[in-house]
Amino acid sequence: MIADPQRLQYLEAMGIAAWTSRYRFVNARPTEQGEWQVAAEPDKPAPGQRLQALLETPSSPVARDHPAVSAPEPEIGVPSEPAASPPARARALLEGVSPATVSSSAATPRQASPSASSPVGSAEEVAKRPVLADPLRFTLSLAVIGDRWWLMLPGDRPLSTAGHALLEQMLRSVGVPGDGAALSSLSWPLMDVPASDPADEAREGIQVFCAGQAQRHGLTIDGAIVVGDEIWAPLLNDVEKNAENSAGRNSSDDDAGSDVGWTCHSLPHPDDLLTSADAKRECWSRLQSLATAWRQGATPRA
């Protein structure tokens, strides 16, 4: 486990606020304050000490037992051949090959392969690199209905007072509780950096956010209602998008079409339904499918 200072630095770099208590309840136990000890940096030696250490360091001994053998001077006008390396000459003596043959083969320059100089390899590497794009930007509010279903509301376009009342009436008309308890909100992205797959990273962010809220509040979620047609709504595999064709579909098909662990049902923005009777009639089929899934989930399985 990392220490608290490093943990706070990680959270600050990720853009996550570190929550600390500001007020103390009556008769509450005071919060324990941890004493963090920062490791002292080692003292750097002075320049004079480093120079003295270099002078006192013994150098590698020089071999004086064997006298140096001077190489014979080449004759004037005769080009000198490059000598073969000692391993090559030793290998030539063991294999019975003349050292002159080894030296002549070593002097022959190697021809560069055409593939080494061609930029085909570098072009392929550049093509394989992922293309980075700007992340998706959105805000959503999360609430829970009956401790079973998520209610996801658009944060960029909040519901009006009349829209909230209409949403509660629509849910209660099909037997679903309309008073959702607000839990938290998510502002994406957490860090403003380019992404290789913005949609996939946003989907994973929503899943992790919902899983954390469910674990924190001890909830078992088996469904969700997505309100509005925001940019994040299609990321949750909206299995109720074609509600008019869902009369012959059962709950097992809905579960198979969801990748987030719970069935998603979409509803239009309530503010758009306030002035359109046709939109309300089209939304009725979605409410019927939603109510069927709610009752099936409430029935205990054998």
b/e map 233-252, b = 16+ CB within 10 Å: bebbebbbeebeebeebebe
**Distance separating alpha carbons of residues 211 and 219, to the nearest angstrom:** 9
Q: What is the pLDDT of residue 10?
A: 81
Sign of CA dihedral 90, 91, 96, 102: negative
| 282 contacts: CB under 8 Å, gap ≥ 6 | 244
Q: What is the pLDDT of residue 287?
A: 92
**Distance separating alpha carbons of residues 6 and 56, to the nearest angstrom:** 41
pTM above 0.85, yes or no: no
Both tokens of 225, joined, read 């209602």
pLDDT in tens, the chain (302 residues): 677 778 878 887 887 777 666 677 888 887 776 666 666 776 776 666 776 777 676 655 555 555 545 555 555 554 555 555 666 666 666 566 555 665 555 555 455 454 445 555 566 665 667 788 999 999 999 999 989 999 999 988 889 999 999 999 999 999 999 888 889 999 998 888 898 899 999 999 998 999 999 999 999 998 999 998 888 888 886 434 433 344 344 444 443 334 456 788 999 999 999 988 888 889 999 999 999 999 887 654 43
Residue 187, SS3 per DSSP: strand
> Of 269, 247, 76, 84, whose CA–CA distance to 170 is shortest?
269
| 278 contacts: CB under 8 Å, gap ≥ 6 | none
Sign of CA dihedral 177, 181, 183, 189: positive
* Sequential DSSP letters for 146-177: TTTEEEEEESSS---HHHHHHHHHHHHHTT--
Both tokens of 161, joined, read 């007072």
Q: What is the pLDDT of residue 268?
A: 92
Vertex 157: Cα angle to 152 and 162 (nearest 5): 85
**Distance separating alpha carbons of residues 254 and 261, to the nearest angstrom:** 11
